[in-house]
Structure 1
Amino acid sequence: MNRHLPSRRTFLAGLTASLATPALLRASGLHHASGHAFGTSWGISADDPAALKALGPVITALFDEIDKDLSPWRADSAISRFNSDPKGVDASPELSRVTQAGLDLAASSDGAFDPTVGPLVARWGFGPITHGATPNWRGLSLRQGRLSKTDPDLTLDLCGIAKGRALDRAAHLARAHGVGSALLDLGGELYALGQHPEGRDWRVAVENPLSDQPTGTVLNLPAGLSVATSGVGVQGYGRNGQVWGHIMDPATAHPVAGKLRSVTVMATDAMMADGWATALFAAGDVAGPEIARTQDIPAVFLFDTGTGLRQVETGGIAAVLS
């Protein structure tokens, strides 16, 4: 199992400790800081308005820095330079770290997570990498800071994991600025820093992928854990009775098909929650839950039954559902 995901035993033990902790903070009011990055919005909720005021500009600068490294939408980013260079590049420490995480995840998921699917994503109208070779994550290599490829047209797209990495770094920055209790949100991915000021876990809702139905699943998110959801969501469209989303099935070179509508993953860092949510959704109706059970990943799968949603839980996540 990936080291960034809590084992069932560790996950449940940590949850029990969290729920047993006395309520040390009683404040009910929360303050907020927010902004925009990576084509989405971010926000922090905490009970310390002074810390949030100082933190906002620093997080904005951090996200700008990450964007310059990892955004395929920017022609001047480090990842775009790699994509346009047939020989590869000397990668920055950040690009190296996130690329290695993506390659490790590709291996662990048997290619369900593939950081070279950018051209497929663009072909279906969702991404900026409009040219490139057939996806093949095994054609990428990272050795001593040198990022190279076996095919000069191979491209790299880390959008399925980079947002989570940005959220992890924002949480680290918040700690460094003395924020001990906060809920961080980056485009719907969440990180629990400490507990809610009332002394309980943060409570977060899993968005219902069927727009005509209310949210029915709520998670109690313990301190130090993150949660991310992948699915058809807002980045999708319907055609001939089929719902198409932005997540590709590398095996078919098409958007993921089937009845699976979303996957929510909980992990000890946001980068792995983000990446595994993408991988498990890409794996599809049958293989997704099978991989989650094999890897003992805390996850919630939501399937469209035609009359509502069917929910499948793995990895002990049932213990935090309300």
Structure 2
Amino acid sequence: MSPFRKWSEISVFNRSRTTDWLPLSSVVLRAIAKAQSVAARTRGAFDPTLGGLVGRYGFGPITGAPAGAFRDLELRADGARKAHPRQTLDLCGIAKGQALNRCADALRSIGLEAFFIEMGGEVLARGTRPDGSPWRAAVERPLPGRAEPQRVVALRDEALATSGDLINSYVLAGHRYGHITDPQRMAPADSALASVSVFARRAITADALATALFALGPKRGPALAEHAGMDALFLSRDGAGLREVMTGRFRDRIIWG
């Protein structure tokens, strides 16, 4: 699913200029199907057809203006059909969660029922620690300087994903440009929001939701998360510090901070 690899399934799909059915593996198709589900759930805030915009601002290899509506992309058991010949897919906002789920499936296939996996800042936990207590994860404070925890939370049979702009962003002429695109503005998300952390049963869901909620910003994001009952933490820049907004039962999960 890497758009940076020339012969990955997604790169081959993106180079094809046709609206005929194109073959894709079940792994990629599951990621696209979940992306469509999260797109509908977040009113279009998650849209993996905007890789051209991501690349335009220096955060990815996909070039060319976005084409074709994501909701019109068709799927079947062995492939997908574009809504426009030049339509492209960028699954970087969901592929890591898919990888975490596959790691968990592999561990369970050899009989392991209790484990904690971390991949690029996203975590997935099953069972408990050896002493019977829940697994723990820290949500990083998204401020420049030494990495410090903002909150430490408990996990049991669930995943936690965080999206933010601390690393993959730059400021130019007073505006912050990051790798997460706001589909409504058709431009990089630009707000006081610094990071969003969200719980979900599966890592692939948490990964996509964190991206979508960050794209929605510090007002629309918490409003949608609260309405949908998502357990999420929104951290926004406030002067030299941070302002917290929690939705759902996130506060009940905190064990430190």
TM-score bracket for the superposition, by shorter chain length: over 0.9
Displacement of 1:90 in angstroms is 2.0
Question: 2:46 pairs with 106, 109, 113, which one?
Answer: 113
**1:312 aligned partner:** 245
Amino acid of the structure 2 residue aligned with 1:292:
A
Question: 2:10 pairs with 73, 79, 86, which one?
Answer: 79
> What is the TM-score normalised by the length of structure 1?
0.75
CA distance in 2, matches of 1:188, 1:134: 31
Structure 1: stretches of 5+ with no match in the other structure: 1-69
Contact kept in structure 1, 2:170 and 2:177, CA below 8 Å: yes
2:172 maps to 1:247: no
2:184 maps to 1:238: no
Question: For residues 144 and 168 of structure 1, do their structure 2 counterparts lie closer, same or farther at Cα, with a shift above 3 Å needed?
Answer: closer
2:154 maps to 1:220: yes
CA distance in 2, matches of 1:191, 1:184: 5
Displacement of 1:203 in angstroms is 1.4
Contact kept in structure 2, 1:230 and 1:262, CA below 8 Å: yes
Structure 2: stretches of 5+ with no match in the other structure: none
CA distance in 2, matches of 1:229, 1:241: 25
The percent identity for this pair of structures is 42
2:95 maps to 1:162: yes
Question: For residues 104 and 318 of structure 1, do their structure 2 counterparts lie closer, same or farther at Cα, with a shift above 3 Å needed?
Answer: same
The residue correspondences of 1:134-283 to structure 2 (distance < 5 A) are: 134=67, 136-212=69-145, 214-222=148-156, 224-283=157-216
Please tell me whether Structure 1 or Structure 2 has the larger radius of gyration of its CA atoms.
1
Amino acid of the structure 2 residue aligned with 1:137:
F
CA distance in 2, matches of 1:259, 1:286: 10
Displacement of 1:132 in angstroms is 4.5
Displacement of 1:95 in angstroms is 1.5
CA distance in 1, matches of 2:68, 2:237: 29
Secondary structure of the residue aligned to 2:149 is: coil
CA distance in 1, matches of 2:192, 2:65: 30
2:32 maps to 1:99: yes
Amino acid of the structure 2 residue aligned with 1:216:
Q
Amino acid of the structure 1 residue aligned with 2:74:
S
Contact kept in structure 2, 1:114 and 1:135, CA below 8 Å: no
Displacement of 1:169 in angstroms is 0.8
> What is the TM-score normalised by the length of structure 2?
0.93
Contact kept in structure 2, 1:91 and 1:146, CA below 8 Å: yes
CA distance in 1, matches of 2:23, 2:99: 21
CA distance in 2, matches of 1:310, 1:317: 15
Displacement of 1:300 in angstroms is 0.4
Q: How many residues align?
A: 252
CA distance in 1, matches of 2:34, 2:113: 27
Considering fraction of residues, name the structure with more helix. 1
Amino acid of the structure 2 residue aligned with 1:98:
A
CA distance in 2, matches of 1:133, 1:254: 12
Displacement of 1:288 in angstroms is 0.6
The Cα RMSD (Å) is 1.5
**1:297 aligned partner:** 230
**1:28 aligned partner:** none
**Cα deviation per residue 1:46-65 (whole Å; 9 max; x = unaligned)?**
xxxxxxxxxxxxxxxxxxxx
Displacement of 1:130 in angstroms is 1.6
Question: For residues 142 and 308 of structure 1, do their structure 2 counterparts lie closer, same or farther at Cα, with a shift above 3 Å needed?
Answer: same
Considering fraction of residues, name the structure with more strand. 2
Question: For residues 317 and 135 of structure 1, do their structure 2 counterparts lie closer, same or farther at Cα, with a shift above 3 Å needed?
Answer: farther
Secondary structure of the residue aligned to 1:244 is: strand
Amino acid of the structure 1 residue aligned with 2:8:
S
CA distance in 2, matches of 1:150, 1:195: 45
